[in-house]
Chains A and B, each alone.
Chain A
Amino acid sequence: MSLLKSFFLLVGLMVCALSGPSFAQSDPEALRPLINGLAEGKYAETEKQIGALAATGDPAVAPTLEALGEGDLYVRKSDGAVFITKKAGKGYALTDPLTLEPAGEAGRREVSKIKVNNKLRRVLRSALGSLTLMAADPHVRMAAAEAIFKARDPDGIEALDAALAAETDDGVRKVMEEARAAAVLNSDLDETRKLEAIETLSVMGNRDALSLLIGVQSSANGAVRDAATQAVAKIEKSIAAWDAAQNIWYGLSLGSVLLLAAIGLAITFGVMGVINMAHGEMVMIGAYVTFVVQELIRTSAPGLFDYSLLIALPLAFLTSGLIGVAIERGVIRWLYGRPLETLLATWGISLILQQAVRSIFGPTNREVGNPDWMSGAFELGQMTITYNRMWIIVFAMLVFAGLMLVLKKTPFGLYTRAVTQNRRMAASMGIRTPWVDAMTFGLGSGIAGIAGVALSQIDNVSPNLGQGYIIDSFMVVVFGGVGNLWGTLVGAMTLGIVNKFLEPYAGAVLGKIFVLVIIILFIQKRPRGLFALKGRAVEA
């Protein structure tokens, strides 16, 4: 984010330096005679003075011109000095038009208003438009161009042409060209210019351009109308494509949330065959660890806040992992081979953990802050991508890759896979299966804790946090196929994307219901999920 800011600053500085005398701050007092000249003579003279003021290109004259347009510019009869005024009591409060500082008061009879007519107002508007279009700050120029785009004022064309000639920032130039195109379409210029404008807008290709072109389509005729029709079709197509892309993005983002929540379960359920209903509570504990870490940082070392998540990750892993090992050693190991009983016992544990957290931290939501690098958003084409969603996708992938690495490349992973495939044989080869069980369960729980750190960024941290994820997690694991991490990945992403594609048509709730029904039907077809384990281990 700060990188982007400094980039803009740099561009702004360059614009100031390069654009020469017209942008240089001239001595304000040099403008004063010109401003005072506004009060001399009739409308024709005033118009000339406005032109002269606009020609200086100095943004400092903008307030004066604005006040003139509003009818707030008065001249003091005694010395012919011009002020911006505001009604105050019986008289007027005076403001110096250049320094914008208060300049005393004046009675009603001491000042007289500088009159403007409609022609002058129009001149003023375009003068002001070109002034802001020439401003040193690219944001101001951008805003001015966007204002013209919205107003579609044909008078702005000249100002835009002048500004375009001087413009150096590509982003601003693009907006100006689009604004110019919009203005051209609204003017009575000839067909070729309008066709060019339509071309510009169809390249622009967003919803604003679409509504503008639809307007043209209905009002214009001949070649312009045909061109507009074509452009509308083209834009509609591109918008549909971007919408699909946005849906896929949302789907991936939801999918990675599901993946994070389910991947720990994929280990305990898939690898060990243990139905851990307390899995959601491990996620919740991870989120609360984040909360505690942030609280400690807030009170003792506020400077570390941006690193709070990085600090929370290992702690959450350890806390949830240790609780997981304790649960395995204390309860689950007595229940191996009885999956339904395990389900009930772990459900009991989940109730206890929930109530424990509720007793310690209270039943209300806890505030977990986003570090700087996780807040904000950026635009990619016509999609808005928020940083926290992006980081969660990245993080989910990292966790997945890390877990894969642990399972495939470490001795511990080897033992785990051996025990999964054939427990007795593994035991005969000297693997301490109870130890492997405890560690695997701890690993699965620890991963859930890590997921909690990530989910604390996008969800409410409350004792019920885990409950919301447990059913979805089971769906993902069962859908993907038990005992297969790749299945979990594919399952999570598929469910996420399907969910997001159903949402626009069916609504969020109905979409979710459809997904559940689809899963129920899917299980009938493939009772062991997408990627089913094959071989003797399954039949045992």
Chain B
Amino acid sequence: MMTSFLFRAMDTRAGIFLAIMAAAIILVPAGNLLAPEGSAFHVPNYAVTLMGKYLTYALLALAVDLVWGYCGILSLGHAAFFALGGYAMGMYLMRQIGTRGVYGDPNLPDFMVFLNWQELPWYWYGFDMFWFAALMVLLVPGFLAFVFGWFAFRSRVTGVYLSIITQALTYALLLAFFRNDMGFGGNNGLTDFKDILGFDIQADTTRAGLFAASGIALVLCFIVCRALTRSKLGKVLVAVRDAESRTRFLGYRVEHYKLFVWTLSAMMAGIAGALYVPQVGIINPGEFAPANSIEVVIWVAVGGRGTLVGAVLGAVLVNFAKTWFTGALPDIWLFALGGLFVFVTLFLPKGIVGTVSQGWTALRQRKASAAYESGSGDPPSAPPQSPGAPANVKHSNRAPVTAEPQPAE
């Protein structure tokens, strides 16, 4: 049962992806730790952290792709789950500082001493234990997503309205975490971490380990998503995306499917956030900013929604471009990002991966036709529609030129 579940997750594309990931997980830390400095294979420290950050972003993008690409839920609030996971991890790291803080208080983090708090608030209990923090990384975003989704999907809030209230959710959390009274460090957030699981957080080996952990988390989540979307459940999700009402009329409990995949996705975003925080060394309310969530969506759109590999590719590419632009041409970055948004939505609605695989299928088909016409081979069958790629049901029956405004959904 389990093996067949996993077996379904595999095909050529997934295989290539997993091979590249495996290579990266082994080679990057090795290049950093084993290759001597100055050697051509040496990976500098900053690059390890940077790539580790990209991997956590990729995981976040994967989570968004799962709900948006396969279930049609455009979340403009996934950064909220990401940041919540990050805060859970940040709280653990804060408790690990112990007496090494500026004020040397064994229990209270520095900012609480600074604000004259007398004792630890109840919601900070337990975060000195890693297993508890790790559990919270999953449960807090998961629980929030479950409650939010329970209400939203049950009342059949869909489309644009859902997007806007997810944005309201992350905006409300942004405002809340900015408050000092919340006990999460207010404006400054949580920072100045010392060690994780007993290892110095600044050490090269720890950084390499965190990179590997991010890579492994990404691979595991990818396999889960892949298996999920190729299962029967995944087919129902695609059905929900393309024709929600019809799926409901066929007897499926649409809201249950949505709630399940929504909560799962939020948990994955939480994991991404938890791996992100020790690598960048800070978590603050800025992570909740609605703009961040929208940016994640564009990573997915660039890579190709509904392809999983595309989400990872898009996240890495866009963030690499961002790093390069903000270093080399800081003024141009927002122009480039904005232009990317417009370009991708207008000219690459399937994203990079979607467009390439479409072209690949077309090419293969043409070859098959040519072979058939020259008298050999079987008649070409209709191109198999990838279950992943958006079917674009609405547009397949009319040319894009006649696209017309519709009332908001």
Instruction: List chain A positions with a Cβ less than 8 A from chain B.
Output: 269-270, 272-275, 277, 331, 333-345, 347-352, 354-356, 358-359, 419-420, 423, 433, 437, 467, 471, 474-475, 478, 482-483, 509-510, 512-513, 516-517, 519-521, 523-525, 527-528, 533, 537-538, 540
Say if the beta carbon of B363 comes within 8 Å of chain A: no
Given A336-B404, A423-B404, A471-B290, decide whether A345 and B342 contact each other with a Cβ distance below 8 A. yes
Q: B73-115 CB contact bits vs A (8 Å, 1 = yes)?
A: 0100000000000000000000000000000000000000000
- Whether B156 contacts A471 by the Cβ 8 Å rule is no
Q: Contacts of A420 on B, CB cut-off 8 Å?
A: 407
Chain B: which residue is nearest A359 at the CB level? B331
Q: Which of A277, A351, A519 has the most CB of B within 10 A?
A: A351
Chain A nearest Cβ from B369, distance in angstroms: 31
Q: Which of B151, B167, B172 has the most CB of A within 10 A?
A: B172
Chain A: which residue is nearest B156 at the CB level? A527
Q: Contacts of A538 on B, CB cut-off 8 Å?
A: 407
C-alpha gap A482/B331 in the complex (Å): 37
- Whether B405 contacts A273 by the Cβ 8 Å rule is yes
Q: Contacts of B403 on A, CB cut-off 8 Å?
A: 333-338
- Whether A516 contacts B151 by the Cβ 8 Å rule is no
Chain A nearest Cβ from B226, distance in angstroms: 24
C-alpha gap A336/B402 in the complex (Å): 9
Given A433-B404, A513-B176, A527-B156, decide whether A348 and B339 contact each other with a Cβ distance below 8 A. yes
Tell me the total A-B contact number using a CB cutoff of 8 A.
163
Q: Contacts of A275 on B, CB cut-off 8 Å?
A: 160, 163, 408
Q: Contacts of A338 on B, CB cut-off 8 Å?
A: 394, 403
The contact of B157 among A344, A523, A537, by CB within 8 Å, is A523
| Segment at the A interface, from B21-29, B269-277, B294-302, B374-382 | B294-302
Q: Which of B394, B404, B408 has the most CB of A within 10 A?
A: B408
- Whether A540 contacts B156 by the Cβ 8 Å rule is no
- Whether A513 contacts B175 by the Cβ 8 Å rule is yes
The contact of B151 among A356, A474, A521, by CB within 8 Å, is A521
- Whether A471 contacts B405 by the Cβ 8 Å rule is no
Chain B: which residue is nearest A519 at the CB level? B168
C-alpha gap A537/B408 in the complex (Å): 10
Chain B: which residue is nearest A353 at the CB level? B338
- Whether B339 contacts A520 by the Cβ 8 Å rule is no
Given A352-B339, A523-B157, A525-B155, decide whether A344 and B175 contact each other with a Cβ distance below 8 A. no
Q: Contacts of B148 on A, CB cut-off 8 Å?
A: 520
C-alpha gap A437/B405 in the complex (Å): 8
Say if the beta carbon of B171 comes within 8 Å of chain A: yes
C-alpha gap A352/B335 in the complex (Å): 5
Q: Contacts of B152 on A, CB cut-off 8 Å?
A: 523-524
The contact of A352 among B164, B178, B334, B405, by CB within 8 Å, is B334
Q: Contacts of A340 on B, CB cut-off 8 Å?
A: 74, 159-160, 163
Q: Contacts of B172 on A, CB cut-off 8 Å?
A: 512-513, 516-517, 520
Chain A: which residue is nearest B400 at the CB level? A334
Q: Contacts of B339 on A, CB cut-off 8 Å?
A: 348, 352
- Whether B338 contacts A348 by the Cβ 8 Å rule is yes
Chain B nearest Cβ from A528, distance in angstroms: 8
Q: Contacts of B346 on A, CB cut-off 8 Å?
A: 331, 334-335, 345
Chain B: which residue is nearest A335 at the CB level? B345
Q: Which of B375-405 contact A (CB under 8 A)?
A: 394-395, 400, 403-405
Given A352-B335, A471-B171, decide whether A269 and B408 contact each other with a Cβ distance below 8 A. yes
Q: B149-193 CB contact bits vs A (8 Å, 1 = yes)?
A: 001101111011101110111011001101100000000000000
Q: Contacts of B395 on A, CB cut-off 8 Å?
A: 337
Q: B340-368 CB contact bits vs A (8 Å, 1 = yes)?
A: 11101110010000000000000000000
- Whether A483 contacts B407 by the Cβ 8 Å rule is yes
Q: Contacts of A344 on B, CB cut-off 8 Å?
A: 294, 297-298, 301, 341, 344-345
- Whether B169 contacts A520 by the Cβ 8 Å rule is yes
Extra A-B contacts (20), CB below 8 Å, given A347-B338, A523-B152, A540-B406? A273-B406, A273-B408, A274-B405, A338-B403, A344-B294, A344-B298, A345-B341, A348-B340, A351-B335, A352-B338, A354-B334, A359-B331, A471-B290, A474-B164, A478-B165, A509-B179, A513-B175, A519-B165, A519-B168, A524-B151
Q: Contacts of B165 on A, CB cut-off 8 Å?
A: 478, 519-520, 523
Chain A: which residue is nearest B394 at the CB level? A337
Chain A: which residue is nearest B392 at the CB level? A338
